[in-house]
Structure formats: structure tokens, C-alpha cells
Amino acid sequence: MSYVEGVPPLIAGKMPATRQLLFMMENIQKALVKYWEYNDFLPLQKKAMECVGSKRDSIVVLPTGGGKSLCYQAPAVVLPGLTVVVSPLISLMKDQVDALIECGVSAARIDSSLTAHEQQRVFEALHKKQLKLLYLSPERLVSDGFVEVLKKTGLSFIAVDEAHCVSMWGHDFRPEYRQLGILKQAFPNITIGAYTATATEQVRNDIAEQLHLENPEMLIGSFDRPNLVYKVQRRTNSLKQVSAVLDRHKGESGIVYCIRRRDVDELCQLLRDKSYNVLPYHAGMEDKQRKKNQEAFVGEKVDTIVATIAFGMGIDKSNVRYVVHTGMPKSIEHYQQETGRAGRDGLEAECCLFYSGGDYGTWKSLMSEMEPEAYKIAMIKLNKMYSFCTGGVCRHKAVLRYFGQTLDKDNCGACDMCLGEMDSIKDALETSQKILSCIVRLGQRFGGTYTAAVLTGSNDKRVLENRHDALSTYGLLSDYSQRTVHDWIEQLEGQDFIEKVGDYNVLNVTEKGWQVLKGNETPMLLKPAEKPAKISKVVEDSWEGVDSGLFEALRKLRTTLACKQGVPAYIVFDDAALRDMARRRPSSLTGLLDVKGVGEKKSRQYGQAVLETIKDCCCRNALQMDMHVHPEMVSADLQASEPKRHPNLSKARQRAFDLFEKKLSIEKVAKSVNRAQSTTTQYLVEYIKHEKITDPSPWVDGQTFGRIVHAARQVGDERTKPIFDSLKGQTDHNQIRISLACLRNNR
């Protein structure tokens, strides 16, 4: 068939352009619901699709998770002919084609991994005009004779994905992408759209020039990924630091990046020795093993991939919950793209970067054989990345600033700086002056490690032989460790008060540094915070109202369904859909359709199994089903009338705490905040602990409380079941939980 069933094709030239565009957008809206289960557009998606409909070239920059692929896939469904998608990696093409087929869209790819018979079937489908999307590498597209093949297919549109590869200023420049400049000559009347998640203004302009785009529409989304929690720390012990992240995300998918192949092999083996479920991935492995490991990760047979940056561009896995860098990336573009592989489903994800000053030298050495112009560009980017690591500003603000954007709030609530994990030292000016003075007194001839040794009063043989123990700055910072002082030196360099010069990275004081010595400028020096860090609201809000036990049961079901279908688990349902199911807990197919990411096709295909799992889990745990979920959770008038006494709480907890203070019953509070009584009881237990309440009335009467206290003294108060059994089931578990919370406040 020449168009997708259920969505009428556009008839070019049969109606005015404005009416045709309107008709196309109406059909795209229907296709979004029918095939992707989306009821609306994400920011800039509609404008990007309108560019296709109005036959205008475009450059679309949307962050990972911003629906970039849909900007060309949805129009392809309703356009009358074929859409060609240029993609750099086989794995990326395969993932997108598999996902499209799973949605019911006719799509295919031609690449070297296909057998001759498989490729022939694709050509037959092309000849019969049965395909809506065809994925190709840039080399294949511009190869001899292939352009002529495409001219016979009724080509409607060309989408260049990962378009930053076109530009030398892009972080993944690929010379073969430059060849795509011939497309405008070969297909002068065909619209071209260029799509990427990461591109500075310089890169965007270069893309337009190299592809010969005609007055392209520039659609630039926000580069911010508010659901990513950025954390940057000095690397002290890679194994210990990485293990801590993996422990926080047991059973969840994540990626650990290393700079070099040998680092991948060593760290992977150490983690496996500690029984972590990990596999390696780098370009030095055999293709077969590398592919097997990647498929194990995508298929959720392994939790964590330890890899070089060779891994990731072709991974469209939506439920990656953490990305760890064990070394500094070589540019902020790389950092943004690599961390962007986490949280593609819009849910929270943790991004930890462990760096050291040695990473700078490692990258400088690895890039030393580049062409002079490319090396110059690479070093500019590397310096900015190092400044990002050592700077003392909000991480989200720093990323946005690099791409020429600003954050519209003072506190992002999703990075180590804004969550209070790092503190500024009080005597930053005096400490900075001591460091800079020492560099000057050392004749600006030594590196950071040696300077830190002098400042901390080291008895190192070299220091004593050089008689630097006689300097006035010797031992000025002896109250601190050499590592701490060296870290401050790195921070001063990152803020441009110091620069490293020559092959040996000797320290020089910059003009800006001399202003510090004169007292005209004060740097920011950071240390780990002593107080506990705040919990990110990004994390708290995404779990609001979700029953974690039901979520885990649905994850297991998803794995089973994916194995039967032979597709990655996230293609069946992403984590956002599972959390919404565990929040709404529908009892019917009609209710299931209200869940984010569930449409008619998936409801028919998986609905019965999902409903059975939900019903079984709710019955076993006395959970209420068919929960009504409001986007704002509470009505606007209630929010306006109540002061926010607990500003760090989620909206539902905030409201529940305020109502509990008025001594309202659990039933009334549950109804007000649209939560199950079991969830509301948990809120009450938290409220009792927070407010140190010792009297459980009105939620538990005095006589019942007395019986529970007596039983707790007999059998202990660590668990509710022994108390429940001791009272022969005459008191329910919720009353016991509430009473124990009050009892513990009496200690």
C-alpha cells in the first residue's frame, strides 16, 4: 500500500497550500494517537512538522528525550511517498526501525548487517511503494546508482539525523556526512530536514552551509534536561565511587563510560568480581562479542555496560537510569550527548562525573595527532569542559550557558551545587591568595602536585632538596590534605585564575589571578558539604503516587512480554508508562488507555496481561484500584488557600501534612490528595515522624493504642506482623504502623 492504513494520504497539488498544511497536521495528530499513543506535541515538534508540510528546509535541535525522531517519522506516515532517513550507525537504524514496526508503521533499513535476501526484500518493498520510511547510511545514500533508485520511488522528504556529524565544529564530525551536500543537486525539489540533539550556533550554521539548505527554519529547543541530576566530583577511587552509584540503582539500567579501552576492561572485571551484573564494550573487542553485549543490555539481560564513547549513539533505550563518567569527557557536547542517553522517558536519572586533572593531559595526548585546525578546535572545547568540572556554578546553568541559553530559575534542584552537596569555603579569598603567592614564589616553574606539597608542608625529598621548605608559603595550608589543596588549585585553573603552560603543565598566574592577589576579585573554592544533601524534587515528584511493589511486578511482566515478542523491553512499555500504571492502577481496558504511552494497539496486545498483574498485586496488598490522577494533584484553589509550610515536600505530601495538622481522618485526606489509603497512611507516618508526634489520636483511639503498646513491649516494635499476630488480627496493620511511629517518638 502507498500509505499507512487508517491515515488518509495527502494529495499534492489538489488543494491550496494552507489547506493542505492544515489537512496534513490533522492527519499527523491522528497518526500520533494511533501509532505512538501521544495526544499532543512536545515543544517545537509541531513547528518542525509544519516545516515538512510547507516544504521548507529546517534545522531542528531538540534535547535527547525531546521527541526529535518523531519530527520526521510522523510526517512520513502521512506524506504521499517515501521518506529517507540518513543515520550514522547500524544499531541506531535497527532500533528505530524495530520501534516503528512495533507501532505498526512500514519501515525498513538497508545496511551491511542484512543478508542479500533481506536486502532484496527491502528493494521489492521499495519497488511496490510499500514503505513509508527507509533508513540509510550516508555512504549508501550517495553511492553510485542509489540516487537513481530513489528517484523512482516517489521520494517526498529527506531527514538527516545526527546532523552535527556534518560539521567540523560538531563533536562527532564524520567526513562521509559532508558528501550529503549533493542531495540538493540530486533532489532539487525535495525538502531536507536536519536533526540533532547537540549543536552550538556555529555548528548549526555550518550544517546549513554544507547541506546547501535553502533559507532553513532554525528550530532550537532548550538544551536543558531538567530530569537529569548532574553530580561532579574529584576522582578518588573509581571502583568505590562507581559501586556507590550502582548500589543506588540496583536492578536498573545504566552506562559507565571510561576514556580508554584498558580502563573499561579493568573496571569491568573489578565490578564483576564484586558480583555486579556488568559487561564491557569498546572498539577493541570482536564485532560479534560487542554486538552480543549491546543486545544483552538493550534486552535487559545485563544491568550495566562499561564502555568507551564508542557505545551509545545507536542506543535508543529509554529507561537508562544512570550514566557514570569515570573520566572527564573531551567536550561539553560529548558530555551532554552521553548523559543524554539517560532518562529518555522523561523520568529522573542520575549523571555522575568523576574527574581528575590527569584527564586533561590524557585527552591532550590522545588528540595530539589531529590536523592543526581540528586540534585547535578540540583544545578550545577541552578547556571549556575542564572549566565546567572545576567551576562552582549550577551544572544546568553551565551547560545552557555553553549553548547560548539561560536557566529561568535560580535553583535547578537537580545538581550537586543546587542540592547542597558542595559548600563554598568561608575564607576563599585568603586561601586563594596563599595558593597564588606560592606559585609566584616558586617562580611559576612547577606543577599542581608539587605546589600542593609545598603548601601543605610536605617533607618530600624533592621539596627539601630545592630548599622550598624555606619559602614563606611553605606549610601555609598544612591543616588540609595535599589532595584538598590540589583540588583547589584545579578549581582556580577552571575559573581562569591559573593557567597550565608547556608540556609539563607548570602553573602560571593569569592577569585575573593577579587581581585576586590584589584583593580585587574573590574566587569560589568548594569542598564536599558536611550536611546531608537534599533529595531532588525531580526524583520525588516522578514517584509521586506510584506503588513501588506494583511497579516492580509490571517490570517483570514487561520483560516476559518483550522476550516473547523478541524486542527490547522499553519498546513494549517505557518506565514512564509503568509508573503511570502503578499510579492509576486501572481495572479495565478503558482505564488502561488513560495511561501515558498506552494506545489501542498496545492495549489490545498486552492489556489483558497488564490488568491481571495489576489486579493480583492490588488484591494481595489491599491497594485501591482505578485511582483518579489530576495533573496538578490538588485543585488550584486549595493550593492558593494553604501556605506552604513544608517547601521541600511534593505537592501531595505538602497538602497531606497540612490536612493532618488539622486532625483530618485518613479517609478524608486520601480523597483530597487523590491517593490510596495505604499511600496516605505512609504520608501520615512520615508526618508523625517529622513533627515528633507522640499521641496518635484521632487516627488511633486510646484503647487500641494501649493494646498495641503492650504487644510491642512483648514481641518488639521492629515489625508490624508479630504485633498483628499477637493481637489475633483485631487491629489492622495501618493502626499498628501509626502507633509505632508515635511510640518511637517517645524514646
Predicted pLDDT of residue 591: 87
Domain termination site, one of 499, 528, 557: 528
Predicted pLDDT of residue 634: 28
Predicted pLDDT of residue 635: 30
Q: Which three cell numbers stand for residue 640?
A: 492558593
Q: Say if CB 224 and CB 181 are below 8 A apart.
A: no
Predicted pLDDT of residue 313: 53
- Of 158-162, 393-397, 524-528, which one has max mean pLDDT? 158-162
Examine residue 626 and state whether it is found in any structural domain, yes or no.
Answer: no
Are residue 252 and residue 383 in the same domain, yes or no? yes
Whether the per-residue pLDDT at 277 is higher than 60: the answer is yes
Query: If we measure between CA atoms, which residue out of 260, 212, 267, 279 comes closest to residue 237?
Result: 267
Are residue 268 and residue 163 in the same domain, yes or no? no
Predicted pLDDT of residue 680: 84
Query: Number of folded domains in the chain?
Result: 5
Residue 638's pLDDT band, with cuts at 50, 70 and 90, is very low
Are residue 377 and residue 256 in the same domain, yes or no? yes
* Residue percentage of the chain with pLDDT more than 70: 91
* CA distances for 314 relative to 35, 340, 347, angstroms: 22, 13, 20
Q: Which three cell numbers stand for residue 630?
A: 489530576
Segment holding 584, helix H or strand E: helix 575-584
Are residue 373 and residue 324 in the same domain, yes or no? yes
Predicted pLDDT of residue 402: 86
Kindly state the average pLDDT of the residues 593-619.
88
* Residue percentage of the chain with pLDDT more than 90: 35
Query: If we measure between CA atoms, which residue out of 664, 665, 658 comes closest to residue 691?
Result: 658
Lowest mean pLDDT among 142-156, 536-550, 639-653: 639-653
Whether the per-residue pLDDT at 647 is higher than 50: the answer is no
Are residue 75 and residue 180 in the same domain, yes or no? yes
Are residue 36 and residue 133 in the same domain, yes or no? yes
* CATH number for the domain harbouring residue 439: 1.10.10.10
Predicted pLDDT of residue 713: 85
> 535 or 573: which carries more pLDDT confidence?
573
Are residue 46 and residue 167 in the same domain, yes or no? yes
Domain termination site, one of 168, 193, 220: 220
Are residue 158 and residue 242 in the same domain, yes or no? no
pLDDT in tens, 291-349: 899 888 988 889 999 999 877 655 668 889 999 999 999 999 889 989 988 988 888 89
Angle at 379 between CA 376 and CA 382, to 5 degrees: 155
Lowest mean pLDDT among 40-44, 521-525, 710-714: 40-44
* CATH number for the domain harbouring residue 211: 3.40.50.300
Residue tagged 551544572 (cell numbers): 395
Whether the per-residue pLDDT at 173 is higher than 90: the answer is no
Whether the per-residue pLDDT at 649 is higher than 70: the answer is no
Residue 454's pLDDT band, with cuts at 50, 70 and 90, is very high
Predicted pLDDT of residue 51: 93
Whether the per-residue pLDDT at 355 is higher than 50: the answer is yes
Whether the per-residue pLDDT at 604 is higher than 50: the answer is yes
Q: Which three cell numbers stand for residue 340?
A: 543524554
Examine residue 5 and state whether it is found in any structural domain, yes or no.
Answer: no
Averaged pLDDT of the chain: 85
Examine residue 298 and state whether it is found in any structural domain, yes or no.
Answer: yes
Are residue 123 and residue 212 in the same domain, yes or no? yes
Kindly state the average pLDDT of the residues 564-590.
88
pLDDT in tens, 89-139: 887 888 889 888 888 899 999 988 888 899 999 999 988 888 999 999 888
The terminus-to-terminus CA distance of the chain in angstroms comes to: 74
pLDDT in tens, 386-439: 888 887 778 998 899 888 888 888 788 899 888 888 777 888 999 999 999 999
Residue 600's pLDDT band, with cuts at 50, 70 and 90, is confident
Examine residue 512 and state whether it is found in any structural domain, yes or no.
Answer: yes
Kindly state the average pLDDT of the residues 627-643.
42
Domain termination site, one of 363, 390, 421: 421
Predicted pLDDT of residue 642: 35
Are residue 494 and residue 448 in the same domain, yes or no? yes
Lowest mean pLDDT among 12-16, 158-162, 466-470, 713-717: 12-16
State the burial class of residue 128 (Cβ atoms within 10 Å of its Cβ: 0-12, 13-18, 19+).
exposed
Does the reported pTM lie above 0.85? no
Angle at 211 between CA 134 and CA 78, to 5 degrees: 35
DSSP per position, 17-46: HHHHHHHHHHHHHHHHHHHH---SPPTTHH
Whether the per-residue pLDDT at 498 is higher than 50: the answer is yes
20 — alpha (psi -120 to 50), left (phi > 0) or beta?
alpha
Residue 207's domain comprises 17-220
Examine residue 536 and state whether it is found in any structural domain, yes or no.
Answer: no
Lowest mean pLDDT among 176-190, 226-240, 588-602, 607-621: 588-602
Kindly state the average pLDDT of the residues 179-185.
88
Are residue 458 and residue 345 in the same domain, yes or no? no
3-state helix, strand, coil in the chain (%, to 5): 50, 10, 40
Examine residue 178 and state whether it is found in any structural domain, yes or no.
Answer: yes
Q: Phi and psi dihedrals of 423, rounded to 5?
A: -115, 145
Kindly state the average pLDDT of the residues 670-685.
78
Are residue 505 and residue 616 in the same domain, yes or no? no
* CATH number for the domain harbouring residue 580: 1.10.150.80
Examine residue 596 and state whether it is found in any structural domain, yes or no.
Answer: yes
Examine residue 630 and state whether it is found in any structural domain, yes or no.
Answer: no
